[in-house]
Structure 1
Amino acid sequence: MQHGLPVDFKKYFWDVRFNTLTAYSHPTFIIERLLEFGDVKELDWLNSMYTKDQITNVLLTSRRLSPKTGNFFAHYYNVPKESLVCMKKLYI
């Protein structure tokens, strides 16, 4: 079963072919993008489409989330922020 993203989410996926995205095709990418740029409506949709484990796994492992986003959602999903990859200082 294909679950396309709501049409009003297109603004968050400006750099990809929106019509090819489904809730199951690229879940990590979709979760990252909506956590970073979404609002309450997008968060409600995320929580209805994906399990808490799927979302927290992305939260824990993503390098694409900003520390600000990571900090907020660590509190929201009750995850220790120290365990988030996006909160770790990068050395180049």
Structure 2
Amino acid sequence: MVSRKRPASEQLPHDIRIFFWDVDFDRLSVVESAHFIISRLMEHGDENAFRFLLKNYDRDELVRVLRNSRSISKRSRIFWSLFFEIDKGSCTPRRYPTAYTDCSSASIDPWN
């Protein structure tokens, strides 16, 4: 069983609303939308978002999202991996195979 901090509130604080410009903010749930909220705030958040993440989610959940989310940039991954003192290589999400790559190498030239 995964341990989880109990959120201070089911609703998100108003001061992080600006990071959810493309969704219905009032329908987001701290628990049910956790992966989306964490990913978005890890990528775009400010100091208030940083405090919100640490207050409402435990380290294991934050690290799990960091390792699996495909919407967190390399720059943000490096920051968060340093913050959590984990290997930055473990924070690179798996790529899906395509017609041009087999995921074993990211430097394959699809035109050769």
Q: Which amino acid aligns with 1:37?
A: H
**Cα RMSD after superposing both structures:** 2.3
Q: Which amino acid aligns with 1:26?
A: S
Cα distance per residue 1:35-85 (max 9 Å; x no partner): 111112111111110000000000111111000000000000111001112
User: Which 4+ stretches in 1 moved above 3 angstroms?
Assistant: 88-92
Q: Which amino acid aligns with 2:56?
A: M
Identity of aligned residues (%): 31
- Distance apart, 1:30 and its partner CA: 0.1
**Corresponding pairs, count:** 92
Gaps of 5+ in 2: 1-6, 96-105
TM-score when normalising by structure 1: 0.88
- Distance apart, 1:31 and its partner CA: 0.2
Matches within 5 A, 1:1-92: 3-86=10-93, 89=106
Distance of 1:8 and 1:38 partners within structure 2: 11
In proportion to residue count, which structure has more helix? 1
TM-score when normalising by structure 2: 0.74
Q: Which amino acid aligns with 1:31?
A: I
Distance of 2:49 and 2:69 partners within structure 1: 18
